[in-house]
Amino acid sequence: MEKDSFSGLSWMTKEMKDEIHKRDKIVSDEDMEGLFSLSDDSDFSIALHEILINRYAKNPDSLNPIQLNLFLCMHLENAGQADSILTFLQEWFPDKEQQIIKSLNEIGAIKSAKIIKQAVELLPQNGSWFFESSDENSERLMRKFDMEFSNYPDGPMRDLHRKYAEKHKNQF
């Protein structure tokens, strides 16, 4: 008897499991038609992010500007929710400080872009670690920017991801 990958997750309905299987197949096949047919914006955002991660892992230069905007914005959102925006800015993508501000503006996250711009302005110009030269005030400001960004000032990011992707559907 074959066990499915959801054994032990008895709280999941068959419909939930089927949707996850469908999403996983869309990702593994890079099925863009299937991706854009997903009705749930969270499923769409998850699947799109996984597709972009896979493409980036194979070749970071393979993402076009539209895809890169989404890839970076999705990673920043993850950092803001799981770690901090500082993790994104200094550990994950230190060479994309200016690009992420542009990307946020491109997807319509104008308030978020302003917050991240302020956070970037706090970073040391020489590229050294923030906490090597920070003081109480700059650390307080960085925490403030982190909290403001994580509170989704532009509304749910998944909605912005979807709207931007739909607008540029032919770029996928």
Per-residue pLDDT, 2: 42
Per-residue pLDDT of the chain (172 residues; tens, 9 = 90+): 344 555 555 666 777 677 777 888 888 888 999 999 988 888 899 999 999 999 999 998 999 999 999 999 999 999 988 889 999 999 999 999 999 999 999 999 999 999 999 999 999 989 899 999 999 999 999 999 999 999 999 999 999 999 999 999 998 8
> Whole-angstrom Cα distance, residue 53 to residue 67?
10
Within-domain flag for 124: yes
Range of the domain at 120: 14-171
2 found inside a domain? no
List C-alpha distances in Å: 157 to 12, 16, 28, 56, 115: 25, 22, 24, 21, 15
Give the Cα separation of 141 and 144 in Å (integer): 5
Residue that is written with structure tokens 């854009």 in the block: 36
Token couple for 36: 């854009």
Is 4 inside a domain boundary? no
Neighbours of 157 (CB within 10 A): 23
Do 112 and 154 contact (CB within 8 A), yes or no? yes
Count of structural domains, the chain: 1
Report the pLDDT value the prediction gives residue 10, as an integer from 0 to 100: 64
CATH number at residue 79: 1.20.1420.60
